[in-house]
Chains A and B, each alone.
Chain A
Amino acid sequence: MSPRPLIRIEGLARRFPEPSGKSTLTVFEDVWFTVDPGEFVCIIGHSGCGKSTILNILAGLDRPSEGTVIVGEQAIDGPSLDRAVIFQSHALMPWLSASRNIELGISSRHRNWSSERVRAHAQKYLSLVHLDGSENKKPAQLSGGMRQRVGIARALAVEPKILLMDEPFSALDALTRGALQDEVLAIRRATEQTIFMITHDIDEAMLLADRIVLMTNGPKARIAEIVENTLPKDRQRTDLHKYPNYYPLRNHLLEFLVTRSKELAGGVGAGDPRAPVIIRPVASASTAAETAIGTSTQSSAPYRSRPAPTRVIAHANGSAVTPGADTALKRISRPT
C-alpha cells in the first residue's frame, strides 16, 4: 500500500483578471495530484503554464482561485516554516553573511535558542552543503553555485516538512548544476526529505524525481499525466544513460514537451482530472537486452507498487532518438 499522501492538491485553479478588467485569464484549472511523505516530485511544463504559481500557492505566497492544498491534515493558509522554499535567484540577503542568512530562519523557528546554539545549528547545515570556511562571507563574495548552496542550507536548517524548489539550478552553469544535483540527491537520500521541484531540464527530473508531473501548455493548463521514474533508485548522474529504461523515459518526456503538451493544451483530450494517468515508460525485454550496458541491473519490475489494474499499450515513440528501441509503455489507472 502506498503511504498516506503528505500533500494533497485538490481542484486547484488560478485565474488572473485580464488587463481589460472584464474577463479573467485562467492560468490552470482542475489540478489534482498528491505527494507522498519522503517523495521527490518534479513538475515539468512549458514556460507560462503556471508551475511557479502552483509552487507559490504551495508555499502560501499566493492563493488559489479555486481548490485547496492539504498538507498533513490541514488546508494551508499562508506561508509556514514547514514549507521551505528554495528560490531560483537564491534570494539571499546581500547584507548578511552566509551564516547569518541561515540563522535568520533558525532563530525564527527556535525563538528561545541562544545565539550560540543558533550559530552552531547554522554551521551544521553549512557543512552539510560543503561550505565550511565561507560562513562569514557575504553573498557577493560567493560564486553562483555557492550562493545556491547557502539557499539550500537556509531552507534545510529550519527542518521543514516539505522543500519547495522553483528551478533552483537553472541560473547555474552545467558543471555547477551537476554538482548541486548530486548534492541534493545525497541530502535527500540521507534525510528522506519530501521535495517538490520545478524544472525544465528533463535529465534533472530523471535524476532526481520519483515521479514527474507533466503539465499541458497554458492558458487553462492541466496535468496531462504523471510519469513514474523507472530508473533504479540508487541511480547515479554519470550512469544515467546506461540504464535500460533511460531512453524510453527520456523520449517519452521529450515527446511530451515537444508535441503533446501543445496538442493537449486547453483541456482537449484530458481524462478524469482527479486521477491523472500514470505512465511507466520501460524498455521492452528485447530492447533492454540491447541497450543495457555494463553491470547496471535492469529493473523491469515496478519499484513502487501501486494496487491498480495495469494496462499495457504498445507504444512506438522514441525510435527517432534510439533507433531500434522498441518501447513499451505500461499505463496504470490511478486508484481514486
Chain B
Amino acid sequence: MSQSLALRAGMLSIALLAAFLVLWQFAVSGTGTTQQMDPEYAKLMGLTATQGKSAMPGPMDVGAKLWEHLRRPFYDNGPNDKGVGIQLAYSIARVLTGYLFAFLVAVPLGFLIGMSPLFSRALDPFIQVLKPISPLAWMPLALYTIKDSNASAIFVIFICSVWPMLINTAFGVATVRRDWLNVAKTLELGTWRTAFQVILPAAAPTILTGMRISIGIAWLVIVAAEMLVGGTGIGYFVWNEWNNLSITNVINAILLIGLVGMVLDQLMARLQRLVSYSE
C-alpha cells in the first residue's frame, strides 16, 4: 500500500518535471524571423531580437552546460574562471566554519540560559534585539573591524546561525521533564553527569531542530554574503555570471544551490533521527 503510494508519487514527480521541461522549452524556443530588418541593425541586436528567440536559455542549453560543469567541476583558470565545484566548496567551507563557531557558542550558552532563570532573564533583552537583525546588516561592521572579506562572510554565517541554536537549546534545556531531573537528584548523579547524561539527551531533539533551522538559514545567507564580498564562492559565481550575462550558468548555479541545501538539510535530519526518542 505505502510502497505503491511511493511509486505513484515518484511517477507523478517525474511527470510534473517532464511537463515543466516541455513548457520551458516551448516558451523559449524561437518563432523564426519576425520582421524585415536592416541587416546592420540585426547584427547588433543578435538572434534574440531578430528571430524572436528568447534570451532565456532552454532546458537543453542548461542541461548541456550542466554536463560541462559536472565533467570538470574543479578546474581553476584564475580568479574569474573557476569550476563550479571549487566555488561550492568555498561556500560550504564558509558555512561550516561559521556554523561550527555558532554551535560552540550557542549550545553552552543555551544550556546556561535554560538552566538559570537569572541568566535567562538577564540575556533575554539582548537576544530579543539582536535576533531580528538581518545578518547582512552586520557585513559593513564586520568588514570594517575584521578587514578580511572571507572572515567577514564567516562572521555573518555565525551571527545568522547562532540564534535558532541558542533559542532551541535554551528551550530544550528549560523544558526537560521535572521527573527526569528528580531521578537524577535522587540517584545523586551530580551536576556534570546530570548535564551530560540526562539534560543533554533529553534536550537533544530540540537542539537538533535548532541546528537544522540554522544550517538552512546559513545556506540561504551565504549566497547573499558572497555576492557582497566577492572573490570566491557560489554566491560570487552567480553574480559574476549575471555580469557575464550567462543566464545558463545562473540557472545552473541556482539548481546546484538548491541541491546542496537539500543535502545539508537531509544530513541534519539524519542526525535528528539519531538523537530522537519516543516516550
Contacts and interface: CB of A to CB of B under 8 A. Distances in A.
A104 B185 contact: no
Contacts of A89: 179
A93 B180 contact: yes
User: Majority SS of interface residues in chain B?
Assistant: helix
Nearest to A81: B188
29 contacts: A59-B186, A60-B185, A61-B182, A61-B185, A79-B185, A79-B186, A80-B186, A80-B188, A81-B187, A83-B186, A85-B182, A87-B179, A87-B183, A89-B179, A91-B183, A93-B180, A93-B202, A94-B277, A94-B278, A94-B279, A95-B201, A95-B202, A95-B204, A104-B197, A108-B187, A109-B188, A138-B278, A140-B279, A158-B187
Nearest to B177: A91
Given A61-B185, A109-B188, 8 more contacts: A60-B186, A91-B177, A91-B179, A95-B201, A108-B187, A108-B189, A139-B279, A140-B277
A7 interface: no
Contact of B278 (A87, A104, A140): A140
A331 B277 CA distance: 54
Contacts of B279: 94, 139-140
A93 B187 contact: no
B198 interface: yes
B8 interface: no
B277 A138 contact: yes
Interface in B185-199: 185-190, 193, 197-198
Nearest to A93: B180
A12 to B, nearest CB: 19
Contacts of B179: 87, 89, 91
B242 to A, nearest CB: 49
Contacts of A93: 180, 183, 198, 201-202
Interface string B144-187: 00000000000000000000000000000000010110110111
Contacts of A61: 182, 185-186
A41 to B, nearest CB: 19
Interface of B: 177, 179-180, 182-183, 185-190, 193, 197-198, 201-202, 204, 275, 277-279
A91 B188 contact: no
Nearest to A138: B277
A81 B189 CA distance: 10
Interface of A: 59-61, 78-81, 83-85, 87, 89, 91, 93-96, 104-105, 108-109, 138-140, 158
Centre residue among A85, A89, A138 by max chain B CB count within 10 A: A85
Contacts of B188: 79-81, 108-109
B278 A105 contact: no
Contacts, number: 61
A107 to B, nearest CB: 9
Nearest to B279: A94
A269 B188 CA distance: 42
Contacts of B277: 94-95, 138, 140
Interface pairs A-B: 10 shortest CB-CB: A91-B179, A95-B277, A105-B187, A79-B185, A94-B277, A140-B278, A79-B186, A95-B201, A94-B279, A85-B186
Contacts of A59: 182, 186
Contacts of A84: 186
A91 B182 contact: yes
Nearest to A88: B179
A87 B184 CA distance: 12
A139 B278 CA distance: 9
Nearest to B189: A108
Nearest to B193: A108
Contacts of A108: 187-190, 193
Nearest to A158: B187
Nearest to B185: A79
A173 B275 CA distance: 31
Contacts of A87: 179, 182-183
A85 B183 CA distance: 8
A91 B197 contact: no
A224 B215 CA distance: 62
B274 to A, nearest CB: 11
A101 to B, nearest CB: 9
A60 B187 CA distance: 11
Contacts of A83: 186
B56 to A, nearest CB: 52
A108 B194 CA distance: 11
Nearest to B183: A91
A191 B3 CA distance: 55
Contacts of A94: 277-279
Centre residue among A59, A94, A158 by max chain B CB count within 10 A: A94
A109 B278 CA distance: 28
B205 to A, nearest CB: 9
A193 to B, nearest CB: 16
Nearest to A107: B193
Nearest to A56: B182
Nearest to B179: A91
Nearest to B184: A104
A83 B182 CA distance: 12
Contacts of B197: 104
Contacts of B278: 94, 138, 140
A61 B279 CA distance: 24
Nearest to A100: B197
